Amino acid sequence: MDRKSIHSSLDYVELREFFIEDRLEKYRLEAECNLGESGIRNFSLGELLRKINLSPKDLESISLADSANQGSIGLRREIASLYGNSISEENVLVTTGTSEALFLFFQIFVKKQARISLFTPAFQALYEVPQSVGAIIYPVDVVESQLDIDALWTHDPDLVIINHPHNPTGKSLSDSDWNRLEENIENHKAIVLFDEHYRFLDFHEDLTPTGADLGKNCFATGSITKCFGVVGLKIGWIVGEKSFIDKARSFKDYLTHTVNPISEFLCEQILIHRKKLIDPIKKSVLSNIEYFQKHLAKIPGVLDFQAPDGGLVGFIKLEPGIMSESYCDDLYKDTSVFLLPGANFEKEGYVRIGFGESEDRFRDGINRWIRWEKYFSR
Ligand SMILES: Cc1ncc(COP(=O)(O)O)c(C=O)c1O
């Protein structure tokens, strides 16, 4: 094929910049109180090893050869055990972050003019990547209303994307939402993708329920990185029916091909020890949410806040007329407290807060933010 024919066969919209990543890259390493993250404060390798009863010596025998393209059998088994009986290791593809899993999924399922509905505001990759291959996006707002499951099926979608617990609002699906979901899945042909990045941070149960088991046309992505404070390990996964997993595995050969074997080993160990690891994390996240709610009324410029049902983040409504980017810029400049503006989620009038910072730093951040009153009213 000559160059011209390759180009004439393409028809896509360019990806825009990834708004939140751009801002995180600028500030996250310098901020004294980073309340902008969607993960918990990350552990050092030494801390992690101690928590899972390993020593640095245990890492010495890891082969630095390529891992299996689909992911090691041990890790895939651990991942499969997080789902119901319909998911075995054959239904799991290990990827470099869930971003890669999402990218593969969209490459395979999204065609030009495909109709896609999802809750918004949303993690940008969930709509930006499909849009870039020509999909039509039907957003269903979740900030100013409850999760409306039926609304996702209004436009006869080819694909429905459900991120729960939801980033950035922290909203989760209730029992009646799950019932509505099951009915819609049964009665329509749409494929459903569940982004379950924050599944390990259910505030009542061991795990948030998964949509992966709801039928052959249901798929789910997952990860340990944000909930367990190991974002640098960059391991994610997708589960679904075997023919899709085989195809996605083959597409992955054009991207990262295999994951890092050290990350893969550590990810398996984290899953083996996940219950012991997650309990203190849940406690600390809940304590941060409680502290924030207790002091909410003293924070300048904030109008309203609904605590997250699960996960690590919440969306705070600002007083009318405040622009989220200048609010976050000024707060950072004056206090070194870092938040994400709603504008980065294409939703003005809000800021996103992360509850994953260590309790002492989180409280310090909230206290600085409260004391900011004197700057805010100047
Ligand atoms: C809802 C959601 N999905 C997917 C991702 C991508 O995660 P990863 O870092 O595993 O690529 C993120 C990251 O913040 C997220 O919040």
Q: Are 79 and 239 in contact (CB under 8 A)?
A: yes
Atom number, ligand 1, closest to the C-alpha of residue 235: 10
Residue range 125-156, pLDDT digits in tens: 999 999 999 999 999 999 998 899 999 999 99
Instruction: Pull the structure tokens for residue 243.
Output: 């023919």
Helices (H), the chain: 3-8, 19-27, 45-51, 73-80, 97-109, 125-132, 175-187, 242-252, 261-272, 274-295, 324-335, 359-371, 373-376
Q: Between these two residues, 102 and 9, which has the higher pLDDT value?
A: 102
Helix, coil or strand: residue 342: helix
Q: Which architecture characterizes domain 3-45+279-370 according to CATH? A: Alpha-Beta Complex (3.90)
Residue 173's pLDDT is: 96
Other CB atoms within 10 Å distance of the CB of residue 319 = 12
Helix, coil or strand: residue 94: strand
Q: Are 41 and 359 in contact (CB under 8 A)?
A: no
Q: Are 139 and 120 in contact (CB under 8 A)?
A: yes
**Res 165 pLDDT > 60:** yes
What pTM did the predictor assign?
0.95
CB of 335 shorter than 6 A to ligand 1: no
Residue with tokens 């304590």: 287
Atom number, ligand 1, closest to the C-alpha of residue 236: 10
Q: Are 332 and 191 in contact (CB under 8 A)?
A: no
- Right CATH number for 60-274 from 3.40.640.10, 3.30.565.10, 2.40.50.140, 3.30.70.260? 3.40.640.10
Residue 25's pLDDT is: 85
CB of 95 shorter than 6 A to ligand 1: no
**Res 374 pLDDT > 70:** no
Residue range 40-52, pLDDT digits in tens: 999 999 999 999 9
User: Which residue has the least CA distance to atom 14 on ligand 1?
Assistant: 38
Residue 8's pLDDT is: 40
Query: How confident is the model over 238-243, as a mean pLDDT?
Result: 98
**Res 331 pLDDT > 90:** yes
C-alpha span between 115 and 155 (Å, rounded): 8
Q: What is the DSSP letter of 236?
A: E
User: What does residue 292 show for φ and ψ, rounded to 5 degrees?
Assistant: -65, -45
Residue 12's pLDDT is: 63
Residue range 172-230, pLDDT digits in tens: 999 999 999 999 999 999 999 999 999 999 999 999 999 999 999 999 999 999 999 99
Residue range 255-309, pLDDT digits in tens: 999 999 999 999 999 999 999 999 999 999 999 999 999 999 999 999 999 999 9
Going by pLDDT thresholds of 50, 70 and 90, the confidence category of residue 23 is confident
Residue range 82-132, pLDDT digits in tens: 999 999 999 999 999 999 999 999 999 999 999 999 999 999 999 999 999
Q: What is the DSSP string of 34-51?
A: E---SSPPPPPHHHHHHH
Among 265, 18, 255, 30, CA closest to 131: 18
**Res 1 pLDDT > 60:** no
Residue 270's pLDDT is: 98
Going by pLDDT thresholds of 50, 70 and 90, the confidence category of residue 14 is confident
Going by pLDDT thresholds of 50, 70 and 90, the confidence category of residue 375 is low
Residue 3's pLDDT is: 39
Instruction: Pull the structure tokens for residue 295.
Output: 């002091």
C-alpha span between 326 and 328 (Å, rounded): 5
CB of 263 shorter than 6 A to ligand 1: no
Q: Which of 96, 163, 167, 315 to mutate to test the pocket of ligand 1 (most atoms within 8 A of CB)?
A: 167
Which residues, at least 6 apart from 40, have a Cβ–Cβ distance to it below 8 Å?
226, 227, 228, 229, 281, 284, 285, 312, 356, 357
Q: What is the dihedral of CA 179, 180, 181, 182, to 10 degrees?
A: 50
Residue 5's pLDDT is: 41
Residue 327's pLDDT is: 96
**Res 378 pLDDT > 80:** no
C-alpha span between 13 and 127 (Å, rounded): 12
Residue 279's pLDDT is: 97
User: Which residue has the least CA distance to atom 15 on ligand 1?
Assistant: 123
Q: Where are the domains of the chain?
A: 3-45+279-370, 60-274
Q: Are 351 and 324 in contact (CB under 8 A)?
A: yes
